[in-house]
């Protein structure tokens, strides 16, 4: 509450001044250059505020055609639908942990399917193929991925590759309707400064094309959990919520400077601390995923930590990182490295901290040897370790199987009384879709897991056996109609059998 009206007026004036200065900076006008006598039409500063507003509107119009909403269906995981987002809640004063947040909304019948939702940004074009950058925790090992475009078009997407280490993934779509206008320019995250404007675009909580504005509040943030390693993240106070994952963080020119990936929160929602993967990290990952389908990284099989002042005094070393564990099956163990060794350098380059060392090792080519300088028992010695392939490297992508187009490509189950009640169809009969084949006629027609089919060619469907028999009576080249109920709403779907 304001202490008095004068205090309130002073604060309102301060806020107005900050917005005016910000607008002038965006327009490339120095504050001292703008210190001219105000005109009668602009005595309250509204024209300057309108200029600021227009600047953000231009950025939104330029970037939104390239920002997409992603739906990824995972089968055989759990009977829950998930809203993909990663969180970093503080824990015991530490940096926190990142995790996928799921909402307990089981599918009817407890089918083992998870639907994850997130965002993505189109970053490259190759003819009619467009590559979309997003988070790995959105895509994971999805069996089906759909992309919802700016113009409400829905396209099937192919998973090009994932990189669990950086939590990045690339999917592709093919469409002659897209153009260069849908590709968002990539900036240079090395030029990002604390205090710079930061603009987040995405689909938080399912609200597509949401834009939030803030500033870069810190750089080189480091967060780590048991599965994903993040380093040198961009911190921002632009609002990021579940569903923003994989969407872009933009600068004032509309260039992508980061990929939104995590928030720090004690509530599960936005509290002013969001994190984005720097786009310069993502650039090399995108290139490799498009070319190879995965990112190959080196591994030594050791756990390390930075030296605190007491540890430096105890071990007699002011530099290096401390080995706290050695994987008995890893290359470091075979080379004789031990717990409490201090690693000073890798291939002659000084080790700055654990994050620098991990990135250096990850960048090393498996099969090559790496020379180490270590301290053990207060004496310096040399060691050589053969770099191995990181066990977290995804398997090589499999060839895309040919889709059997002659079948509808869906699996159904007889609708039970409990399931009918769950979807608001008490007493109704029919079948519920429990699986879809990627690229099938059923998927092309817009059917999805959880849909209820009550009629086929205007005839009631009583069970899964009835449905199969009715499908068999539809000949090649004939059109069938399905009455489909989804989320309480019915529609008629037409499918021409091949």
Q: Compute φ and ψ for 371, nearest 5 degrees.
A: -90, 130
Q: Compute φ and ψ for 118, nearest 5 degrees.
A: -165, -160
| CATH number of the domain enclosing 169 | 2.40.10.120
Looking at the fold, whether 220 and 129 belong to one and the same domain comes out as yes
Looking at the fold, whether 271 and 168 belong to one and the same domain comes out as yes
| CATH number of the domain enclosing 336 | 2.30.42.10
The pLDDT value recorded for residue 230 is: 64
- For residues 436 and 442, is the Cβ–Cβ distance under 8 A? yes
Instruction: List, for residues 281-335, the tens digit of each pLDDT value.
Output: 899 899 999 988 888 889 999 999 999 999 999 998 889 999 999 999 999 999 9
H or E element, residue 412: strand 410-414
Looking at the fold, whether 162 and 305 belong to one and the same domain comes out as no
Looking at the fold, whether 259 and 127 belong to one and the same domain comes out as yes
Looking at the fold, whether 145 and 240 belong to one and the same domain comes out as yes
In a domain, 15, yes or no: no
Domain's final residue, options 389, 423, 443: 389
In a domain, 29, yes or no: no
The pLDDT value recorded for residue 418 is: 83
Looking at the fold, whether 194 and 238 belong to one and the same domain comes out as yes
Model's pTM, two decimal places? 0.66
Q: What's the chain's Rg over C-alpha atoms? A: 27
Mean pLDDT of the chain: 79
Domain that holds residue 479: 410-496
Looking at the fold, whether 486 and 451 belong to one and the same domain comes out as yes
- For residues 31 and 48, is the Cβ–Cβ distance under 8 A? no
Looking at the fold, whether 438 and 325 belong to one and the same domain comes out as no
Looking at the fold, whether 65 and 153 belong to one and the same domain comes out as yes
The pLDDT value recorded for residue 376 is: 92
In a domain, 312, yes or no: yes
SS (H, E, C) 193-224: CCCCEEEEEECHHHCCCEEEEEEEEEEEECCE
Looking at the fold, whether 272 and 382 belong to one and the same domain comes out as no
Task: Provide, rounded to the nearest whole percent, the portion of the chain with pLDDT above 90.
Answer: 36
Cβ partners under 8 Å of residue 421, min gap 6: none
In a domain, 361, yes or no: yes
- For residues 307 and 351, is the Cβ–Cβ distance under 8 A? no
Which residues are the active-site residues?
137, 167, 245
Among the listed residues 483, 493, 478, the one whose alpha carbon sits nearest the alpha carbon of residue 452: 483
Treating both helix axes as pointing N-terminal to C-terminal, what angle do 46-63 and 5-26 enclose, rounded to 10 degrees?
50
Looking at the fold, whether 259 and 313 belong to one and the same domain comes out as no
In a domain, 47, yes or no: no
H or E element, residue 158: strand 154-163
Domain count across the chain? 3
Domain's final residue, options 400, 427, 456: 400
Looking at the fold, whether 74 and 119 belong to one and the same domain comes out as yes
Can you say whether residue 336 is alpha, beta or left, with left for phi > 0 and alpha for psi between -120 and 50 degrees? left
In a domain, 16, yes or no: no
The pLDDT value recorded for residue 397 is: 66
In a domain, 14, yes or no: no
In a domain, 2, yes or no: no
**b/e per residue 219-252 (b: at least 16 CB within 10 A):** eebebbbeebbbbbbbbbbbbbbbbbbbbbbbbb
Asked if the model's pLDDT at residue 217 lies above 50, the reply is yes
Q: Measure the CA–CA gap between 431 and 175, rounded to whole angstroms.
A: 33
């Amino acid at each position: 509450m304001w202490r008095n009206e004068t205090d309130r007026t002073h604060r309102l004036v301060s806020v107005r001044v900050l917005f005016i200065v910000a607008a002038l900076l965006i327009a490339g006008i120095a504050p001292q250059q703008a210190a001219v006598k105000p005109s009668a039409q602009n005595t309250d500063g509204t024209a300057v505020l309108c200029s600021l507003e227009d600047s953000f509107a231009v950025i939104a119009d330029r970037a939104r055609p390239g920002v997409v909403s992603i739906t990824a269906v995972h089968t055989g995981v759990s009977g829950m639908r998930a809203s993909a987002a990663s969180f970093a809640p503080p824990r015991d004063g530490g940096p926190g942990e990142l995790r996928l947040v799921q909402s307990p909304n089981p599918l009817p019948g407890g089918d083992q399917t998870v639907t994850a939702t997130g965002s993505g940004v189109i970053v490259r074009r190759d003819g009619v193929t467009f590559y979309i950058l997003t988070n790995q925790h959105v895509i994971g090992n999805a069996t089906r991925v759909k992309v919802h475009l700016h113009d409400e078009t829905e396209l099937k997407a192919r998973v090009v590759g994932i990189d669990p280490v950086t939590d990045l993934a690339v999917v592709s779509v093919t469409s002659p309707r897209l153009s260069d206008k849908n590709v968002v320019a990539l900036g240079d995250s090395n030029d990002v400064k604390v205090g710079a404007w930061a603009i987040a675009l995405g689909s938080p909580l399912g609200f597509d094309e949401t834009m939030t504005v803030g500033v870069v509040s810190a750089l080189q943030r480091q967060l780590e959990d048991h599965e994903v390693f993040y380093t040198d993240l961009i911190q921002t106070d632009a609002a990021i919520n579940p569903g923003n994952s994989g969407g872009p963080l933009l600068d004032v020119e509309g260039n992508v400077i980061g990929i939104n990936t995590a928030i720090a929160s004690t509530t599960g929602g936005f509290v002013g601390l969001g994190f984005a993967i720097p786009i310069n990290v993502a650039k090399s990952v995108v290139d490799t995923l498009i070319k190879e389908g995965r990112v190959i990284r080196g591994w030594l099989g050791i756990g390390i930590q930075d030296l605190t002042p007491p540890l430096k005094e105890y071990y007699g070393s002011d530099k290096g990182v401390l080995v706290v564990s050695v994987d008995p099956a890893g290359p470091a163990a075979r080379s004789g490295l031990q717990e409490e060794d201090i690693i000073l350098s890798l291939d002659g380059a000084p080790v700055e901290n654990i994050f620098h060392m991990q990135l250096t090792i990850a960048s090393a080519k498996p099969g090559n040897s790496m020379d180490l300088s270590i301290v053990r028992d207060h004496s310096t010695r040399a060691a050589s370790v053969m770099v191995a392939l990181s066990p977290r490297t995804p398997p090589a992508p499999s060839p895309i199987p040919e889709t059997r187009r002659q079948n509808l490509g869906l699996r159904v189950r007889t609708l039970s009384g409990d399931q009918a009640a769950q979807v608001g169809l008490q007493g109704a009969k029919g079948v519920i879709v429990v699986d879809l084949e990627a690229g099938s006629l059923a998927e092309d027609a817009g059917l999805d897991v959880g849909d209820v089919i009550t009629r086929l060619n205007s005839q009631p469907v009583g069970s899964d056996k009835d449905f199969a028999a009715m499908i068999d009576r539809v000949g090649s080249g004939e059109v069938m109609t399905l009455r489909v109920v989804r989320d309480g709403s019915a529609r008629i779907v037409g499918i021409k059998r091949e």
